[in-house]
A = this chain, B = another copy of it.
Amino acid sequence: MLTLDQINAASATDFVALLDGIYEHSPWVAQAAAAQRPCATLAALKHSLVQAVRQAGRERQLALLRAHPELAAKAALATPLSAASAHEQGQAGLAACTPQELARMRQLNAAYHARFGWPFILAVRGPRGHGLTRAEIIATLERRLAGHADFEFAEALRQVHRIAELRLGDRFGVQPRAGELVCDRAEALAAHSDPGFAELGQLTVTYLSAAHQACARQLQAWMQEAGFDEAGVDAVGNVVGVYHGAARSARRLLTGSHYDTVRNAGRYDGRLGVLVPLAAVRALHAQGRRLPFGIELLAFAEEEGQRYEATFIGSGALTGDFDPAWLEQRDADGVSMREAMRAAGLPGHMPAIAALERDPARYLGFVEMHIEQGPVLDALDLPLGVVTSINGGRRFLGEVLGIASHAGTTPMDRRHDAACAVAELVLFVERCAAARPDVVGTVGLLQVPAGSINVVPGRCRFSLDLRATTDAARDALAADVRAELERICARRGLAFTLESTLCAAAAASAPAWQDRWEAAVRALGLPVQRLPSGAGHDAMKLHEVMPQAMLFVRGGNAGISHNPLETITADDAELALAAFTHLLEGLARE
């Protein structure tokens, strides 16, 4: 087994030899990374190799891709596989392809190569490391074949790095067992899904559904098994675990995230931030260690706002922000929240809910780990990022009203085309948001209602989702967009409506807590990447009453989220756990 000491002590030539085969037929990668030693951690070594490829320029990157064999059963290959490739492809069961699978894969490989000019590359051991199924491999090939060439080039390089990561793990004899457990538990939780989705193999866990209650029971059991001193379900369905500090009355670090999901969700959104602290406490308990502070882990029952017109039910209960009127709200099936609570064995009345409000004086602060749900870390080839601020946001639903008229008979200068006006607005939002730092703007809903191919649109509906790192930037964007809409409609002789549907304040990370995350990332030998959170998180709620800071974990597949393709690797989960442990240790030393 290779060690970091060997790596750091070796001559450049020996270093290249030690890493032979990590990057397929491409010793130049290790050569370029040799000067970056010493590497404090395996993560640092991986990072220096990744950086070598990132800085090599497109030609060498393309050569690296082309150095890889075509992905298929051994028998189908014109050129021999490297031993490592053969082993990996064997593990993935590619040697056992049916003739139909083989034919399909050959056909897709040929189409892929013809389209992009390099072979299809996939880390067939997958994010968990135990191998993708042949069906998964074929589905991935089909999906990526349809992508854009620039995107696919970057994705192929990311797969090369993932292959290297897995090979390095083997060579160092290091297996991310805790990270794998996080992945396995995310998978196990995903076995519970609401009716109508479970049958399709889709993950959907809405507030207080049977699947939701099953998740709560499972999380509670895991907390008990991990050695939490207390583990229970509270009056809004939060699963609450407490691991006392050395003194039972010591102040606590609050951490956690949500376990409900959107419809047809990914497996890590929210849940990662529960499973990682669970693993950390498990390790502490296994060592019989108590920290100078307690750890209170919250698996929040609700954050996604899917079943009721209410969000942050779980974290809002802790900040005294539960609207009593919510209890009478009814879901699509007419079930009130109060009825749903009682059916789930919860009290379903305000006194019990109001009692959940926390006294901030008893807490050090709140930290939340979360999958990024965006492409930034994946594009930078960085496993972790430190959140500077959770963006504030405003949402609007709008409609432009013009005059529907005959598409053939209405001259261009006599039109009052509602869709043209909205098209102008869409591009204004894009241009305006792109020109300002840390601002995003999206028109996600767009429709000409009851339109016809031969009718000039008389109406066009749209949505606006505007977010910024500060409330001032958010409001300035919203004001500019509204003013532009007014100008567009005045110029075109149109009317409009614009209804505000959401206004959320930005939540800047508490500097001291952001510093603690940064120190933890540095301790792993990784560069500190700061980024705002575009999505809202439970930390936004806790922000109202105590200091908070978040850590983001890279999402694969370009960070896609609210989607079954959402994924993280076991290695990244392991790094998240290591970072959280560093944060705990640092806090203990303060």
**Interface of A toward B, CB cutoff 8 Å:** 146-148, 150-151, 372-376, 379, 391, 393, 395, 397, 401, 403-414, 416-417, 419-420, 422-424, 426-427, 430, 433-434, 439-448, 451-457, 460, 463, 465, 467, 493-495, 501, 533-536, 558-563
Closest to A563 in B: B404
List 8 interface pairs A-B (beta carbons < 8 Å), by A numbering.
A373-B409, A376-B414, A395-B453, A406-B559, A427-B427, A445-B448, A447-B448, A453-B463
The A interface is mostly helix, strand or loop, or mixed, namely mixed
Q: Say whether A440 contacts B408, CB under 8 Å.
A: yes
Q: How far is the CA of A405 from the CA of B535 in the complex (A)?
A: 11
The answer, among B146, B395, B430, B495, for a CB contact under 8 Å with A412, is B430
How many whole Å from A378's CB to the nearest CB in chain B? 10
Bound form: Cα–Cα A424–B427 in Å: 7
Judge whether B451 and A445 touch: CB under 8 Å: yes
User: In the complex, which residues of chain B have a beta carbon less than 8 angstroms from the beta carbon of A454?
Assistant: 395, 442, 444, 465
Q: Is the CB of B419 within 8 A of A536?
A: no
User: Please, which residues of chain B bring their CB within 8 A of the CB of A463?
Assistant: 451, 453
Complex-state Cα separation, A391 to B501, whole angstroms: 45
CB A369 to nearest CB in B, in angstroms, measures: 15
Per the bound structure, the CA–CA distance linking A393 and B379 in Å amounts to: 45
- B453→A411 contact, CB < 8 A: no
B559–A151 CB distance below 8 A: no
Given contacts A148-B493, A446-B419, contact A559 B413 (CB under 8 A): no
**Smallest Cβ-Cβ distance to A455: which chain B residue:** B444
Closest 3 CB pairs of A and B: A374-B409, A408-B534, A409-B534
Closest approach, in angstroms, between the C-beta of A423 and any C-beta of chain B?
A: 4
Give complex CA distance A413, B560 in Å: 16
Given A403-B558, A447-B448, decide whether A426 and B420 contact each other with a Cβ distance below 8 A. yes
Known contacts being A420-B426, A493-B151, is A406 close to B446, with CB within 8 Å?
Answer: no
Q: Assuming the A-B contacts A414-B379, A420-B427, A493-B150, are A406 and B447 also in contact, with contact meaning beta carbons closer than 8 angstroms in the complex?
A: no
Instruction: Given A148-B493, A409-B533, A430-B412, decide whether A453 and B457 contact each other with a Cβ distance below 8 A.
Output: no
Q: Report the minimal beta-carbon distance from A206 to chain B, rounded to whole angstroms.
A: 16
Question: A414 — which chain B residues lie within 8 A by C-beta?
Answer: 374-376, 379
Contacts of A419 in B (CB 8 A): 426, 443-444, 446
Residue pair B457, A443 in contact (C-beta under 8 Å): yes
Q: Is the CB of A434 within 8 A of B417?
A: no
Task: Please measure, in the bound complex, the distance between the C-alpha atom of A503 and the C-alpha atom of B296, giving whole angstroms.
Answer: 68
CB distance from A92 to the nearest CB of B (A): 26
Decide: B374 and A440 in contact? CB cutoff 8 A: no
Task: State A414–B422 Cα separation when bound (angstroms).
Answer: 22
Q: Is the CB–CB distance between B534 and A455 below 8 Å?
A: no
In the assembled complex, which residues on chain B have CB atoms less than 8 Å from the CB atom of A391? 408
Contact among B147, B374, B439, B452 with A410 in the assembled complex (CB-CB below 8 Å): B374
CB atoms of A457 and B446 under 8 A apart: yes
CB < 8 Å: which of B146, B403, B439, B535 contacts A495? B146
Residue of B nearest to A442 (CB): B407
Closest to A371 in B: B409
B406, A535: Cβ atoms closer than 8 Å? yes
B411 touches A374 (CB 8 A): yes
Q: Which of B375, B422, B536 is the one whose CB lies under 8 Å from A405?
A: B375
> Which residue of B is nearest A490, CB measured?
B148
Name which of A422, A452, A495, A536 has the most chain B CB atoms within 10 A of its CB. A452
User: What chain B residues lie within 8 Å of A451 (beta carbons)?
Assistant: 444-447, 463
B374:A405 contact, CB within 8 angstroms: yes
Chain B min CB distance to A561 (Å): 5
Closest B residue to A401 by CB, please name it: B146
Kindly identify which residue among B397, B407, B536 contacts A440, using a CB–CB cutoff of 8 Å.
B407
